[in-house]
Amino acid sequence: MAETPYIFNIQKFSTHDGDGVRTTIFFKGCPLRCMWCHNPESQHYYKELIFHHHKCTACGRCVAKCKQGANSIVDGKIVFDRSKCTACGVCTDWCITEARELAGKEYTVDALVKEAMKDKIFYEQSGGGVTLSGGEVMASQHMDYVEEVCRKLHENGVSVFIDTSGYTDYENLKRILPYVDVFLYDIKVMDPEDHKKYIGVDNSLILENLKKLSDEGAGLYIRLPIIQQVNATDEHIESVIHFLKENNIHARQVNLLPYHDIGKGKYASLDMEYHDDEMSVPVSELMEHFKSMFEEQGFNKVNIGG
């Protein structure tokens, strides 16, 4: 029996994670630490409590009910000691302002596939399907589970996309290749040292896996997050184009993804620091310029966003 991972979100009617109308399933756990990560609740493989401080009225119910003593009232405000929290969920049941929620829920393979299959009619009408995302679904220690989900969706006639950084053993990618229509494959930073600086690891494994997938005929959409102070330069775009052409990467399309800070508020709710002073949104004219750079080099399907 496949070990069960934690799922932190199932997003229905998604139009930004592949073709058509899709259900995007977000797995917890990621070996990377992208400075701009907009899903910080995805980084760890275990359940976590999200505490929305701004919703809390300090009613004291969580103090009374928490057996671990993780909550206390100081100067009329709730103080939450995350080191004592076991993410048992008791406080979420008693919180009347919905200031607390758990990130992470277990599904059996059959239960997850059943949930995804509820919207099959929308997949068929729109050319959509299911996208497995994260976190990093491919770096999960739960590859038996991931493979089984992909296989069952495939057998039910559902298109499967995988949203991945590519930072995993290639055997993990190869074992699901028969069931996957497209890999949404991120190229974040080309310079290895800058990759370490902004993402936490170098990019040699990521680029090598991309070449292998292309050589095996995998469907590939190349996705480039663009962050003003990090990689929003002609040099970066030129290096990506050179890599793709030099290695004959068969990309069906390229998606340029402008940075956003929609996930900023999540960091405070997880007691994490967010370095928004080091990042900003690239202007639309610059994004159009980068798009034209790809098109001038013969890339026929280049989108901003997606």
Domain check: are 40 and 62 in the same one?
no
In angstroms, what CA-CA distances link 234 with 183, 185, 224, 242, 243? 25, 21, 13, 12, 14
Give, as one character, the DSSP assignment of residue 277.
Answer: G
Same domain, 118 and 142: yes
pLDDT digits (tens, 9 = 90+) for 260-271: 988 888 999 999
List, for residues 236-256, the tens digit of each pLDDT value: 999 999 999 999 999 999 999
Establish if 1 belongs to a structural domain: no
Same-domain pairing of 93 and 192: no
- Per residue in 196-232, is it b (16+ CB within 10 Å) or e — as a string? eebbeebbeebbebbeebbeeebbbbbbbbbbbebbb
Indicate if the pLDDT at residue 110 is higher than 50: yes
pLDDT of residue 2: 52
Does residue 141 have a pLDDT over 80? no
The order of strands in the sheet holding 159-164 is 105-106, 6-14, 22-27, 129-133, 159-164, 182-186, 220-226, 253-258, 302-304
Q: How far apart are CA 295 and CA 302, in angstroms?
A: 7
Nearest to 229 by CA among 278, 275, 172: 278
Domain holding 62, by residue range, is 48-103
Pairing verdict, β 22-27 and 6-14: antiparallel
How many domains are there within the chain?
Answer: 2
Q: What percent of the chain has pLDDT over 70?
A: 99
Secondary structure (3-state) at 40: helix
What is the pLDDT at residue 262?
85
Cis status of the peptide bond prior to 219, with omega within 30 of 0: no
Rounded to whole angstroms, the Cα distance separating 202 from 164 reads: 16
Instruction: Considering only CA atoms, give the Rg of the chain.
Output: 21
Instruction: Tell me which residue of 122, 233, 220 sits closest to 173, measured CA to CA.
Output: 220
Q: Are residues 60 and 111 in the same domain?
A: no
Question: In CATH, what number is assigned to the domain containing residue 74?
Answer: 3.30.70.20
